[in-house]
Chains A and B, each alone.
Chain A
């Protein structure tokens, strides 16, 4: 068989030979990647299955076969030695020991080197071969002494006899016959078929549009059948592009080994969910973010063995990578048990880099602070190492995932570790999307990015939409959500009047999620949900950040697919951005020349109470039955801790608040890690007023003051003082 192949090779022209070489190299890389993960598993002889041992064995056998055929003697000899070791383990002739994993890893690394530098066959393999031989030398059973294995050293001398070659050949032939069910196909061909199916879906959509008015006609029934076939074809071809996550995960042990070795750290990796399949484009897009996360985790997260021992942790660091499918999205979590992120260090860096002021940061939650490490050029590390610390890389995570229509979340606890959660869609070729219109053009918003769609009449809009610090905000279920008209994003020159949409009889807002926050896109009309074929965005538009792709609608018109993360980033849309900055002088808040946002709520029937919004952490609607009384004090379970709450009439002289209500609004105030709540029955309004027209009470002993807000008298309260947060300040008056 081998000789016959050799003859064919001699008769081939150079391009054919190159093609065979190239195919062999691709095949080798695939085997190496597959074996990498399994060889790591061999560290635990009790955990590895016989099928996994066979897979490694087959890998070495295939590499050896091809190398022999192509005259690559070093690769052939080394893989043969490794194969023989695996045969010994499989047949129980050599006792499987955890340390063998290291021999196999070194062997794999050397084969990889030989493959990378295929022309240089002078690379020495004697150390690796000797390392393999030592396992044969340590054979202790009588049987194994008889059954010697031939190992070829660098001088090509036969050292030991070859065991059960026939048996192995039979097994391999048997397993190869099983793989006849699969064929190798060029990716470019799969892409071409996918593009053609995309065109077919577009044509189907057009036909559906043409015949949408007719029912039960012959054409319509035929079209239904066509639709069914196209949908099935589309799903089948999508499946052909699906690849298991193991294709990505199997590279991880190697990366971790390499980086942790360079850093002198010992790290154990646990992987779960590698069987989940996703589109090859998505898989490829995950590769860079995964590498960057691992580099940063190993460099910044995991401590050295000495540090870990001092901290009472196990000597070896631990990284867990797991994947789960949630409907059309895949969630990949990378968790480590390292030093975690320091909120204070990140805050310090943010202030140093002038990204946010201290007071702005005070209003942000920990997870929002962690998001800053995803900014380009952001690094808290003072020294740059060969692995990381330049602040380059973490932004790649955000950018790549956003391009795929996904996102990233970071949670961390200092001293305990960090969890980075990446979320990506299963496929990006044909996606379900909501189509919306804006100034006569249609745009698509991927379903995966949408939280909800809100429609309301013009008169409702006036109550629900407000302007705050130059941004439009929507009051939705006691939350303030930044909103932006799509026209001002897409066609800025056509949106000179940013609130012109308020004059429409009906207002449509699509609430989309961007990272850990959400915002609303105001569109002219919500159209319908449909599958859209994602086409590459023209090169001239690729820097715009606003679009993740382009599609062609059923009427033949092109439409942009919106990248909601890109829009949020470029428009600066997040709640923390729209909180008005607080100026301080000698530690006392002073009024700025800008406008401030005032939250107005009702004490009882007609009394209006006002508080600066910047002092409010959150507003929650709570059920009265959830209030717990301890003596005269009232508490509520809030964010895993007990929060003391007070009725406003207990604090200031106002008419009594109804104690029999079913629910209340809790205005949550936060100072450091302490929360306190003020209960009231009704929220009245959110008003933006000139800062100079509102007295500054914070930082003073004064608890209340009377103010006119938009023509109405209201009691402005110094909420921090009332709740005892501000006791240290004495004798200062406005």
Chain B
């Protein structure tokens, strides 16, 4: 499976390459934030309005001002029909290189999502343990959280 490494604050996170569309600059964001959510604004990607979310907040950690980020990773949800936005931007500090993980390298893959708020698999690469997140599941969780916030029935 091909993945791309991103750094957000001190975390190195891997995203499946199949979800990644392109990497953009932070300066093109119009900021808008909702308290207690990861929403940070919107960006214009070739005349398409894309919601921008903060990856570190999605990972249930404390966020920071959007201008201190370096890049936006634009991702395309492929599997979840609940995510209606065709593109979503994630705020990250750095975008690293592309790599491949083999099935045999995976050391942990939780099956029960209930017990793991962050759907991910762990694997070893050059003696380092890496986290490959299932960004689509995480986005669905976030969406439901936002809906709950506004009591959407």
Contacts and interface: CB of A to CB of B under 8 A. Distances in A.
A491 B30 contact: no
A662 interface: no
Chain A's interface size range is: 20 to 34
Interface string B116-143: 0000000000000000000000000001
A246 B147 CA distance: 37
A543 B51 contact: no
A540 B85 contact: yes
A199 interface: yes
B54 to A, nearest CB: 12
Contact of B30 (A202, A536, A545, A559): A559
A216 interface: no
A535 B30 contact: no
A540 B39 contact: yes
B47 A493 contact: no
Nearest to A550: B49
Nearest to B83: A539
Contacts of B32: 441, 490-491, 541, 560
B88 interface: yes
Interface string A320-362: 0000000000000000000000000000000000000000000
B42 A543 contact: no
B84 A552 contact: no
Given A538-B85, A541-B32, A552-B47, A560 B42 contact: yes
Given A538-B42, A539-B83, A558 B49 contact: yes
Nearest to B84: A539
B47 A442 contact: no
Given A558-B43, A560-B42, A441 B146 contact: no
Contact of B35 (A493, A537, A545): A493
B29 to A, nearest CB: 8
B150 A545 contact: yes
A288 to B, nearest CB: 16
Interface in B16-70: 28, 30-35, 39, 41-44, 47, 49-51, 53
A490 B32 CA distance: 5
Contacts of A442: 30
Nearest to A533: B47
Given A202-B47, A541-B39, A557-B44, A441 B143 contact: no
Interface string A439-463: 1111000000000000000000000
A541 B42 contact: yes
Nearest to B151: A543
Give the interface centre of B32, B39, B53, B149 by most chain A CB atoms within 10 Å. Answer: B32
B152 interface: yes
A544 interface: yes
Interface string A555-579: 0111110000000000000000000
A535 B85 contact: no
Contacts of A559: 30
A532 to B, nearest CB: 13
B26 to A, nearest CB: 13
Contacts of B146: 540, 543
A493 B30 CA distance: 15
A275 interface: no
Contacts of B50: 538
Interface string A622-662: 00000000000000000000000000000000000000000
A491 B33 contact: yes
A78 B30 CA distance: 60
Interface residues of B, number: 27
Contact of A540 (B44, B143, B152): B143
Question: Interface SS of chain B: helix, strand, loop or mixed?
Answer: mixed
A45 interface: no
A539 B85 contact: yes
A402 B89 CA distance: 28
Contacts of A493: 33, 35
Given A557-B30, A557-B44, A552 B49 contact: yes
Question: Interface SS of chain A: helix, strand, loop or mixed?
Answer: mixed
Contacts of B147: 543
Interface in A371-408: none
Contact of A491 (B31, B44, B53): B31
A492 interface: yes
Contacts of A441: 30-32, 41
Contacts of A490: 31-33
A552 B31 CA distance: 14
A439 B39 CA distance: 17
Nearest to B32: A490
A175 B84 CA distance: 46
A537 B30 CA distance: 13
Nearest to B147: A543
Contacts of A557: 28, 30, 44
Contacts of B51: 538-541
Contacts of B42: 538, 541, 550, 558, 560
Given A539-B51, A540-B85, A543-B150, A560 B44 contact: no
Give the interface centre of B49, B88, B150, B152 by most chain A CB atoms within 10 Å. Answer: B49
A492 to B, nearest CB: 5
A440 B41 CA distance: 13
A558 B143 contact: no
A543 B39 CA distance: 12
Contacts of B53: 540
A170 B85 CA distance: 54
A558 B84 contact: no
A732 to B, nearest CB: 46
A620 B147 CA distance: 45
Interface string A499-510: 000000000000
Contacts of B34: 544
B77 to A, nearest CB: 11
B44 A552 contact: yes
A468 B127 CA distance: 62
Contact of A544 (B30, B44, B85, B150): B150
A646 B147 CA distance: 56
A199 to B, nearest CB: 6
A259 B21 CA distance: 52
Give the interface centre of B42, B149, B152 by most chain A CB atoms within 10 Å. Answer: B42
Contacts of B49: 535-538, 550, 552, 558
Nearest to A552: B44
A556 B28 contact: yes
A191 to B, nearest CB: 15
Nearest to B142: A540
A538 B51 CA distance: 6
B44 A556 contact: yes
Contacts of A202: 47
A441 B30 CA distance: 6
A199 B88 CA distance: 21
B46 to A, nearest CB: 10
A557 B83 CA distance: 24
A175 B77 CA distance: 52
Contacts of A558: 30, 42-44, 49
Given A493-B35, A544-B150, A550-B42, 5 more contacts: A440-B31, A541-B51, A550-B49, A558-B42, A560-B32
The 4 nearest A-B residue pairs measured at CB? A538-B51, A543-B150, A540-B51, A539-B84
Interface of B: 28, 30-35, 39, 41-44, 47, 49-51, 53, 83-85, 88, 143, 146-147, 149-150, 152
Interface of A: 199, 202, 439-442, 490-493, 535-541, 543-545, 550, 552, 556-560
20 contacts: A199-B47, A441-B31, A441-B32, A490-B31, A490-B32, A493-B35, A538-B50, A539-B84, A540-B39, A540-B53, A541-B42, A543-B152, A544-B34, A544-B150, A550-B49, A552-B49, A557-B28, A558-B42, A558-B49, A559-B30
